[in-house]
Chains A and B, each alone.
Chain A
Amino acid sequence: AQKITQTQPGMFVQEKEAVTLDCTYDTSDPSYGLFWYKQPSSGEMIFLIYQGSYDQQNATEGRYSLNFQKARKSANLVISASQLGDSAMYFCAMRGHYSGTYKYIFGTGTRLKVLA
């Protein structure tokens, strides 16, 4: 069975500082994808970044980077130079590539508050 664990229900960060949101996962699939989504208070789910399990390098998208440690089964999201608009709920998700499933498994989320 696949599982995503986000152990930080809430985080605070000072504006312009970097913050790391933790995500660990469990899967028996030899190949899988890891995703991060942002959910602002308005409710929509915004795709941020993707990491494939066989990607040689950690993914980066602008101020977002993914600290992927395969042996530790962790896929932490790093947000650099935090902005007030980064205040939101952040979800880590996973999809196995060989389990014959299309569905994402989501974690419980981390609520990030950026302080001015």
Chain B
Amino acid sequence: EPEVTQTPSHQVTQMGQEVILRCVPISNHLYFYWYRQILGQKVEFLVSFYNNEISEKSEIFDDQFSVERPDGSNFTLKIRSTKLEDSAMYFCASSEDGVAKNIQYFGAGTRLSVL
């Protein structure tokens, strides 16, 4: 069964460092998303991406964050200068379409620990 793949599963970084979280969405999906979940809290939307551009972003997704689809398969989230409060589980998701049902399939997540 097709699945969303995220790497690495766990990333440890020093405050102020740049990190890139990688995702391979399901191959025929056109819409891509990043969410994050701070430990013990609910899942929060960060950004959606369609047709090589951001279609929507939340207040959390400030200038420190960027997303890119560098090739036909990968979808990345970059945090330029990590802060302690960026420590969270980051989920990538993809959906076949953006209308109606729009079931988003999630990857297993990348746990980011900022020290």
Chain B residue numbers with a CB within 8 Å of A108 are 41-42
- Whether, in the assembled complex, B27 has its beta carbon less than 8 Å from a beta carbon of chain A, the answer is no
In the assembled complex, the Cα of A103 lies from the Cα of B100 at a distance in Å of: 12
B side interface size, CB within 8 A: 30
- A97 → chain B, closest Cβ, in Å? 6
Residue numbers in A under 8 Å from B95 (CB-CB): 102
Residues of chain A from 7 to 32 with CB closer than 8 A to chain B in the complex: none
Give the contact stretch, choosing among B13-21, B68-76, B79-87, B101-109.
B101-109
Q: How far apart are the CA atoms of A97 and B55 in the complex, in Å?
A: 15
> What residues on A are CB-neighbors of B98 within 8 Å?
102
CB distance from B9 to the nearest CB of A (A): 9
Given A102-B55, A106-B43, A45-B100 contact (CB < 8 Å) = no
The residue from B43, B44, B103 contacting A50, defined by CB atoms under 8 A apart: B103
Residues of B within 8 A of A47 (CB): 103-106
**Within the complex, which residue of A37, A43, A95 is in contact with B108, where a contact is CB–CB below 8 Å?**
A43
Asked if B43 and A91 sit within 8 Å, CB to CB, the answer is yes
Give chain A's interface residue range (CB within 8 Å of chain B): 20 to 34
Contact code string B29-50 (vs A, CB < 8 Å = 1, else 0): 0010101000001111100101
A103 near B91: Cβ-Cβ < 8 Å: no
The interface residues of chain A lying within 8 Å CB-to-CB of B58 are: 103
Interface positions of B from 89 to 115, Cβ below 8 Å from A? 89, 91, 93, 95, 98-109, 111
A101 part of interface (Cβ distance < 8 Å): yes
Is A91 a contact partner of B42 (Cβ separation < 8 A)? Answer: yes
Does B42 contact A109, Cβ atoms closer than 8 Å? yes
Cross-chain contact B31 with A44 (CB below 8 angstroms): no
- Is A68's CB within 8 Å of the partner chain B? no
Q: Which residues of A contact B31 (CB under 8 A)?
A: 102
User: In the bound complex, do residue A44 and residue B109 qualify as a contact, i.e. CB atoms below 8 Å apart?
Assistant: yes
Q: B: which residues have CB within 8 A of A?
A: 31, 33, 35, 41-45, 48, 50, 55-56, 58, 89, 91, 93, 95, 98-109, 111
Interface pairs (23), CB distance under 8 Å: A33-B100, A35-B103, A37-B106, A44-B108, A45-B43, A47-B104, A47-B106, A52-B100, A93-B43, A97-B100, A101-B56, A102-B50, A102-B56, A102-B95, A102-B98, A103-B45, A103-B48, A103-B56, A103-B58, A104-B43, A105-B45, A106-B42, A108-B41
